[in-house]
Amino acid sequence: MKKIVIHSAGSREKLQYIETEDLTPKNDEVLIEVRAIGINYADVCVRLGVYESAKEYVGWPITPGFEVSGTVKSVGPSVKKFKVGEKVVGFSFFNAYATEVCVSEKQVMPIPKGFSLEEAAGFSAVFFTAFHALHHNTVLRPGSTVLIHSAAGGVGTALVQLCKAHGLRVVGVIGSSHKRAYLEKFKPDVIIDKSKEDLWGVAKEAAPAGFQAIFDANGYTTFKDSYKHLAPMGKLLVYGAHGLLSKNTGRINYFKAIVGLLRTPRFWPLEMISSNKGVIGFNLSFLFQEEDLIRECVEGISELAASGDITPIPVTTFPFEKVREAHELIESGNSVGKIILVVSSAST
Ligand SMILES: NC(=O)c1ccc[n+]([C@@H]2O[C@H](COP(=O)([O-])OP(=O)(O)OC[C@H]3O[C@@H](n4cnc5c(N)ncnc54)[C@H](OP(=O)(O)O)[C@@H]3O)[C@@H](O)[C@H]2O)c1
């Protein structure tokens, strides 16, 4: 088998291919012959050495990646639910950038009906994130208005779909005009193109009384204004800070990052009492051992996919051999939907 390994933090050249021994599934594990691998912005953070759970639980060298689709190649003796030859989705705590992946059967799902293998590979990380943000961290009623930053990205598209499926009024924010046509397909109620429009002026018109929830992974560039535009009882959900990093260069600009960190707002709990607003942070990668929580995400998302309430996120594919180009695209901030690496027989 082949896998992609990063030996130390740095630029895209750090993504190296190595040949390694084939895997054997342990007791409750399923060995998946990988067809497609989902790329997440978090993988870039892992490569740059700023992803906390990768530093805490793995260190260097590391094979990044959280999600694959493919065919079951073999199973451990106690595996009941999956058979050799079945097409499946697997999600893992790193190690997914590989032509074979071994995970516990609890981390395997059938391919949702109507999804291609490429679409299925890009499904779990973003929808689990959206599901966890919405269902485990907020109490929203039909008709609530929510604002979603980076709404045309992977997590953004999943949030738009999930919020619409639950009858919420959705305001989606995009950072460049070419993303509008893509986002319109998911029918948000309002789109704000912040490259052309006054983000907070239009947001105020869209929700004069404020938002019941705002989903924000930008960081210092928007956290303060997002909080300001919450309605009483509104929640700001913070789950990333990509605005600290640079687009296009493939490296950390330490000056930009430090200035961004210094400009990151500090929230004052006593003010929150009288304004009835809250800030919630989460990172699913630190919750991987919470089996009930992960099971709820799997079941909730599987049901919504089976009923057609959520649909596959459109994908842009790269061959397995082009992982550096795939990282370049997600780092540019210009991508829409999901980016997927496709493993062909030539890759293995
Ligand atoms: N905490 C968690 O559990 C969790 C789980 C999954 C993802 N995340 C976070 O959620 C965010 C979205 O992840 P994703 O994988 O779905 O990525 P993505 O949304 O497909 O891509 C990132 C988007 O962020 C915006 N952006 C703003 N500044 C950027 C910068 N300096 N570099 C690159 N993009 C920038 C761009 O959209 P616009 O210009 O249109 O805003 C870009 O398209 C990331 O911050 C990721 O780390 C967190």
Cα 181 to Cα 82: distance, rounded to the nearest angstrom: 39
Distance 117 CA to ligand 1 centre (A): 23
Distance 176 CA to ligand 1 centre (A): 14
**CB 172 near ligand 1, within 6 Å:** no
Residue of the CA atom closest to atom 19 of ligand 1: 153
Q: Are 30 and 90 in contact (CB under 8 A)?
A: yes
Residue of the CA atom closest to atom 18 of ligand 1: 153
Distance 92 CA to ligand 1 centre (A): 20
Q: How far is CA 239 from the centre of its chain?
A: 10
Domains of the chain: 2-123+312-347 (3.90.180.10), 126-285 (3.40.50.720)
Cα 108 to Cα 89: distance, rounded to the nearest angstrom: 6
**CB 327 near ligand 1, within 6 Å:** no
Cα 94 to Cα 68: distance, rounded to the nearest angstrom: 11
Any idea of the CA torsion for 186, 123, 346, 336, to the nearest 10 degrees? 30
Query: Pick from 321, 322, 339: which is nearest to 330 by CA?
Result: 339
Question: From the alpha carbon of 334, which atom of ligand 1 is closest?
Answer: 43
Task: State residue 248's pLDDT score.
Answer: 85
Question: From the alpha carbon of 40, which atom of ligand 1 is closest?
Answer: 15
Task: State residue 141's pLDDT score.
Answer: 87
Is 269 exposed, middle or buried (CB count within 10 Å of its CB: 0-12, 13-18, 19+)? exposed
**CB 122 near ligand 1, within 6 Å:** no
Cα 271 to Cα 223: distance, rounded to the nearest angstrom: 16
Low-confidence ranges of the chain (pLDDT < 50): none
Distance 147 CA to ligand 1 centre (A): 15
Query: Pick from 81, 57, 70: which is nearest to 23 by CA?
Result: 70
Distance 338 CA to ligand 1 centre (A): 11
Task: State residue 266's pLDDT score.
Answer: 96
| Helix (H) or strand (E) segment spanning residue 129 | helix 124-131
150, 178, 245, 252: which to mutate for ligand 1, most atoms within 8 A of CB?
150
Distance 208 CA to ligand 1 centre (A): 27
Distance 337 CA to ligand 1 centre (A): 11
**CB 153 near ligand 1, within 6 Å:** yes
pLDDT tens string 30-55: 999 999 999 999 999 999 999 999 99
Residue of the CA atom closest to atom 1 of ligand 1: 283
**CB 25 near ligand 1, within 6 Å:** no
Q: Residue holding tokens 């429009």?
A: 197
40, 215, 225, 340: which to mutate for ligand 1, most atoms within 8 A of CB?
40
Task: State residue 347's pLDDT score.
Answer: 75
